[in-house]
Homo-oligomer: A and B are copies of this chain.
């Protein structure tokens, strides 16, 4: 059963625990600082498939299978899987999970998808609607680039504020009460759109929504950054992270010492040509289901905020002159 505190925060009362998790990434991610964290990778980023879209689907399947294996569960044990991605009509998820026979709840939150899936899976388990539920998402540099921007062969020049879509996927398996890290609270984010129209500056478009969700959560719970071991955002990158610091400080919260952005963790910006940092659904999904959860296992983390950040644009909306709505969902993970 769940309850609500304040305006936005859901409190789960049955400790829906993350009992299994898996991560899979591509070549560039394996060359980055987190290479030792990931479960699986593929050196040509095609994962044995003949298209980038099929490679992305394959990654979701691998991530779910890895997570299931780690908690000794099978596909039949999962009552619902919450899955989505960046591809048109979310085909990364539909085709990746097609053969698994797990009841599928398709979700769309752009790069906020991992956290959105975690909240919904927690709700499902916490309410008794599922014994076990799963959340998965993915992104692939090559499928995203050619869908959102230009054909890869065109070799377009990218501005410094742009980010590099992570090739990766992450999956979590949730079950009630087990002593593992559990999802204590969740916040469904609201759309925040301050009018940013530059599709090469997603960090600036998403930062106001991240600030909105985080400040609402602090106010609802009466907590402050000091109460948490770490506060993660999904893929604000360098530009968005700096904006988030300014926006939270304007509201009396200094998160600088506590904050990490998955998009800044996954690549080394000095060494890897990723401009403002990593992005994509797979960015926060792969980092959460490796780096973050490993640190719960080792005892380093006991209380963490994890917020994936999404930019709800499409090439069509941009061509029609629209600005970029941002959305940020939040989970509070504890042990």
Contacts of A193 in B (CB 8 A): 98
B-side contacts of A103, CB under 8 Å: 8, 187-190
On whether the beta carbons of B127 and A1 are closer than 8 Å, the reply is yes
Q: Are A1 and B320 in contact (CB under 8 A)?
A: no
Whether B108 pairs with A322 at a CB distance below 8 angstroms is no
A53 at the interface (CB under 8 A from B): yes
A223 CB-CB contact with B under 8 Å: no
Kindly state whether residue A130 has any CB partner on chain B within 8 Å.
Answer: yes
Q: Is residue A79 contacting chain B, with contact meaning CB distance below 8 A? A: yes
Interface residues as binary, A212-248 with B (CB distance below 8 Å gives 1, 0 otherwise): 0000000000000000000000000000000000000
Who on chain B is nearest to A13 by CB? B128
CA A29 to CA B5, docked complex, whole Å: 43
**CB-CB < 8 A to A187: which residues of B?**
103
B315-A88 in contact (CB<8A): yes
Question: DSSP class of A's interface residues: helix, strand, loop or mixed?
Answer: mixed
**Residue A266 interfacial (CB < 8 Å):** no
Within 8 A of B (CB), among A1-39: 1-4, 8, 10
A321, chain B: closest CB distance, angstroms: 9
| Nearest CB in chain B: distance from A80 CB, A | 5
Complex interface: chain B residues within 8 A of A173 (CB): none
Chain B residues with CB under 8 A of A101: 190-191
Nearest B residue to A81, CB-CB:
B188
Q: Given A54-B320, A129-B4, A315-B88, are A106 and B95 neighbors across the interface (CB < 8 Å)?
A: no
Distance, CA A102 to CA B98, complexed state (A): 32
- Chain B minimum-CB-distance residue to A313: B89
CB-CB < 8 A to A105: which residues of B?
A: 107, 109, 116, 120, 188
7 tightest Cβ-Cβ pairs between the two chains A and B = A127-B127, A103-B188, A89-B314, A94-B312, A106-B108, A2-B129, A88-B88
Q: What are 14 A-B contacts with C-beta separation under 8 Å?
A: A1-B127, A2-B128, A10-B129, A87-B316, A88-B314, A89-B313, A91-B316, A94-B191, A97-B191, A104-B188, A106-B327, A108-B108, A126-B127, A127-B129
